[in-house]
Each structure stands twice: as C-alpha cells, then as structure tokens.
Amino acid sequence: MKDCDYYCTLGIDRIASDAEIRMAYRRLARRLHPDVTDDVDGESKFKSVGEAYKTLRYPDSRSAYNQQLSDRQAPAQSAWQPWLVIPSDLCFALFPWPIFTWLWRR
C-alpha cells in the first residue's frame, strides 16, 4: 500500500463485487506465485496481492478500509479560509480600480 491502494493492487474498481474481487485475486495469485513467476519482485507482489484480498474479502474489513480511504482523501478542515484572503495585487488585477474601490467600501 505504498503507492497504490488495495483496489489498484488487485486491478479492480471500488464498486467491484465479491466475485470480481475473488477472480482478480485468483488470476494474480496464479501469475505471481513464487513457484511460477520469473519476476524478481514476484514474491513481494504476491504478498501484497494476498494482503489486499485479505482486507477486501470480508464486508466488515472492506467497509473499514473504504472509510479509512475516504478519511485519508478528505481535505483537512481548518479555521483559516484561504478564499477570504486575497492579495492586493491580485485584487487590482481582477477588478478595475473604480469597481475595486466600490467593493472595498461595502
């Protein structure tokens, strides 16, 4: 799970059914098994595929993992709102001087 999430590891969508998850795991496990593959990183890839399947296999662990993904991808809430702070040179570039002074006084 270094660069990619478990769905990417198995090569499936997040809305994949249990059957699709099982088929993707079996396909990759047959191809990446250490006794079969000639790939140097085959064993580590095989372990990561097994870890992904172990997590996505059960509905409880899958929903917990999906919640973890959504928490990680959600933007952090902060008190500072950057859309309220506009640099003065940008204000002059966006608005002509008369409109800017009219907006400033309101």
Tell me the mean pLDDT in the region 24-43. Answer: 91
Tell me the mean pLDDT in the region 33-57. Answer: 92
CA distance 7 to 29: 15
Would you state the pLDDT for residue 16?
Answer: 92
CB 52 within 8 A of CB 6: yes
Q: Closest by alpha carbon to 92, among 80, 84, 103, 81?
A: 103
The amino acid at residue 104 is W
CA distance 11 to 6: 8
Q: What share of the chain is helix, strand, coil (3-state, %, to 5)?
A: 65, 0, 35
pTM (2 d.p.):
0.64
Would you state the pLDDT for residue 39?
Answer: 86
Domain coordinates in residue numbering, the chain:
6-79
pLDDT band at 1 (very low <50, low <70, confident <90, very high): very low
- The fold of the 6-79 domain, in CATH, is Helix Hairpins (1.10.287)
60-79 pLDDT tens trace: 999 999 998 888 776 655 55
Least confident span in 14-28, 41-55, 57-71, 81-95? 81-95
pLDDT exceeds cutoff 80 at 45: yes
